[in-house]
A and B are shown apart, each in its own frame.
Chain A
Amino acid sequence: MTLLFQEAAHAAAEAGAHGAFHPVAPWLIVLLPLIGFVINGAASMIAARRALPKLPPVGDPHWDAHHDVSEQEGHAHEHGAHPAGHDHDDHHDAHDHPAGPKPWTHVLPSFVAPGVLIAAFAVAVMNFLAMLGADEHGRLTVERYFSWMPVGDFQVDAALQLDPLSMLMTLIITGVGSLIHIFSIGYMKEDPGYPRYMAYLNLFVFFMLVLVLGASYPLMFVGWEGVGLCSYLLIGFWFKEKANADAGKKAFIVNRVGDFGFLIAMFLLFANLGTLNFVEVMDRAPMSLAYGGAVVTAIALFFFLGATGKSAQIPLYIWLPDAMAGPTPVSALIHAATMVTAGVYLVVRSSVIFTLAPVASLVVAIVGALTAIFAASIGLKQWDIKKVLAYSTVSQLGFMFAAVGMGAYAAGVFHLMTHAFFKACLFLGSGAVIHAMHGALHATHNPADAQDMRNMGGLKKYLPVTFATMGIATLAIAGVPPFSGFFSKDEIIGAAWLGAGGHSPFSQAVLFGIPGTVWMGFIGGTLSIAAFMTAFYMGRMMIYTFFGENRTGETERRHMHEGNWTLSVPLIVLAALSFFGGFLNVEEHVPVVEWFDFGQGAALHHWLHPVIAGSESVVRANLGDLGEVHHAAWPIILAIVIGVGGLALAWVMLSGRKLGTATEEPSFRTGFGRVLYNKFYVDEIYDVLVVRPVYALSRVYSAFDRYVIDGLVDFTGRLAQGLGMLAGRVQTGLLNTYAFVIIVGVLVVLGSFVAL
């Protein structure tokens, strides 16, 4: 460890001297979580084996009598009754709590899993420091490790690219990831599948790091699909419930639709540029691809299709709410802070391509904005606390895409970062709430749903730390200054107004006959409404959960308490980041904000500048200088009004409301609220329009295959048999016939002699 530190200091010093950046064993960042996976996976397998009963081996002669399928015809299903609502985070059958000290297979992962993450974070920090020491133009390096797919003129290496963007993502992933791992210790350690959980979590971080650190699109795709796999495994972690396994399956398949887009984009890219390495692509794209041309637009749109899958935008967001079936820390890590941001990362990484395709970028921005408001509206009427956060995530991702779609790449990344902080804090906080609720309900054997807000209320008395941290995160997400969310969200909406004023590189693009300026005005309005909704539903969530009277029950309340330090410390850290994180990128020369001196402004902008430079040069080459940007004051005021107003309105409308528990309070039986509660029936629409027809068609094909094609084959067989039977009729067995044939034959032979 100290050796690495010295190396880092060295590198920083050297870098200062030469301007270049010398990385410090970046491969270690990626490898450490993989090692964690192997260790935890082994522990999980050993633990699983130990838990199994001793059985006679296969091939034992007594075997078959008991296990032939035909024997099972008469057996009825043995099903334990599942009390309503017990299919979320609680999976403890009565027998699953082993008493006594935990075996090493359960203790080891508690150290290994967070340990490798923290170690990876440390190495990342060292590299970050080294990078800081280098000057702006020296902050890119590509470390090649081995040749992965060398096939003729297609050469892809296993290489890691360290530049400001990937460094930032790595810090977020390892940093927030470490906190979530620590939280998981307290949250999941009673679960029998705990080692498996930690193994999957480590594997996920490994793939996510490959995604952001990969130096080429194929390598990024490795991480891209890898996190899809881990998401599948983790969403369906409690696979005994069909609903959970279904959710995991849905996530994987929907993601695959997006992956199809990613693949096509890669092929198009390679066909036109001859390379898939980021550095080379960004160099060659402006020269080989026509600005605004069909090819580059197609590439960008296909990449975006991939992004909608991974980052849950319209039309492929449907897996994310279902993904809440997984353990809450999973939701925090994968579905808030990291995996879902992969799409945004992709767009920013490919900023040159998207800048070359203004129409495609407009599409990205519009879809992002629409998703933002669409998801926010659904979040207004959800009762499950995790569902509220899930739709909130979809909505916030929409904000990020709107940003990058308008060319405000740094703003998108900024919001990505702040969102990682406050959303992870919110999810972990909800996890703490659910943990406490479970504890309470379990103790009294109450079958109520621990995640339904109607069963909560007034929890601020029992869970003060959780309340405080979630409160901070709520203020951040609502966009109340000076919390981080305010700065990042304001920058995005501000970018929309600027774009409407013609200052975005895509302002002049025309989509469906409408110019970019109009679109961006529309986006600005949409995002503002979405932001208002965000503040409202977050306020609603906080009110129903923490304020008012407690609806959980008299006896249950006595068992409700905060979790241990593993649950609280990450919350506190994340809440702090939710507060301070915004100061990393305060815009300079912005009215109101500049009244407060926040030190070096727009740090993130400067930090990311080398990554975005390529895109900026494309803009300069094609559109000329866009001129100075003058920030008006009114957008800032509007943002503050929206944020505070949303929360205030929620308070006014809802804080006095008397709510029944989940069994008492109806779930919106009438009106538009019902539509929102049922998520606009999108899942049902997909089922009718896509899933059922595909299955029906498959069944038709299967029947066609069996009866028509195979029938044809069998027909030839039967034809041969039939002809054979027909020909066999000659063999009558009758002497007369044979004699007759002989005579006829003789006549024929004689006749032929005569004829010839």
Chain B
Amino acid sequence: MTAIPLSWTLALSAILFSVGTFGVVIRRNAIILFMCVELMLNAVNLAFVGLAPYAGIQGQVFVFFVIAVAAAEAAVGLAIIISVFRHSESVDIKNFRLLRW
């Protein structure tokens, strides 16, 4: 059995991260935005796990931290989106520009 080359793992991680970033920058639907953020986090997880055999078991441990934080963040963020949705019947972030100059 041949191991998966590290470069492929990191490449996949990078691609997923970029997709996620691109989505965060471009997408207007708040929930989709969150999904992209989760995508970025998971891409990072992938990178950690991929590097674990080479850099130490801390990589895999750190994934747990990331998952926990992602979950907390998703919970809070989705709660905000729900309350915002209740206020304005939409999750399009173009409507929430109150912090505009």
A interface residue numbers (CB < 8 A to B): 725, 728-736, 739-740, 743
Contact = CB atoms under 8 A, between A and B. Distances in A.
A730 B21 CA distance: 19
Contact of B101 (A729, A735, A739, A740): A729
Interface residues of B, number: 16
Given A740-B24, A740-B25, A743-B21, A735 B93 contact: yes
Nearest to A730: B101
4 A-B pairs closest in CB distance = A733-B97, A733-B100, A728-B101, A731-B101
B26 A736 contact: yes
A633 B41 CA distance: 130
Contacts of A736: 24-28, 33, 93
B101 A725 contact: yes
B16 to A, nearest CB: 14
B25 A739 contact: yes
Given A732-B101, A736-B33, A740-B24, 6 more contacts: A732-B97, A733-B101, A736-B26, A736-B27, A743-B21, A743-B24
Interface string B8-32: 0000000000000100111110100
A530 B78 CA distance: 110
Contact of B98 (A730, A733, A739, A740): A733
Given A736-B33, A736-B93, A731 B24 contact: no
B93 A734 contact: yes
B85 interface: no
B96 interface: yes
B3 interface: no
A751 to B, nearest CB: 15
27 contacts: A725-B101, A728-B101, A729-B101, A730-B101, A731-B99, A731-B100, A732-B97, A732-B101, A733-B98, A733-B99, A733-B100, A733-B101, A734-B93, A734-B97, A735-B30, A735-B33, A735-B93, A736-B24, A736-B26, A736-B27, A739-B24, A739-B25, A740-B24, A740-B25, A743-B21, A743-B24, A743-B25
A634 B98 CA distance: 108
A725 B100 CA distance: 11
B80 to A, nearest CB: 11
B94 interface: yes
B24 to A, nearest CB: 5
A739 B33 CA distance: 10
A734 B101 CA distance: 11
Nearest to B37: A739
Nearest to B36: A739
B7 to A, nearest CB: 18
Contacts of B101: 725, 728-733
Nearest to A725: B101
Contacts of B93: 734-736
Contacts of A730: 101
Nearest to A724: B101
Nearest to B27: A736
A372 B33 CA distance: 101
Contacts of B26: 736
Contacts of A729: 101
Residue in B25, B30, B98, B100 with the greatest tally of chain A CB atoms within 10 Å: B25
A547 B81 CA distance: 112
Given A728-B101, A729-B101, A734 B24 contact: no
A733 B96 CA distance: 7
A732 B100 contact: yes
Contacts of A734: 93-94, 97
Residue in A728, A730, A743 with the greatest tally of chain B CB atoms within 10 Å: A743
Nearest to B100: A733
A740 B94 CA distance: 15
A396 to B, nearest CB: 81
Nearest to B30: A735
A727 to B, nearest CB: 9
Contacts of B33: 735-736, 739
B101 to A, nearest CB: 3
A729 B101 CA distance: 6
A756 to B, nearest CB: 23
Contacts of B25: 736, 739-740, 743
Contacts of B28: 736
B91 to A, nearest CB: 11
A734 B33 CA distance: 12
A740 B27 CA distance: 12
Contacts of B30: 735
Nearest to B98: A733
A236 B101 CA distance: 63
Contacts of A731: 99-101
A737 to B, nearest CB: 8
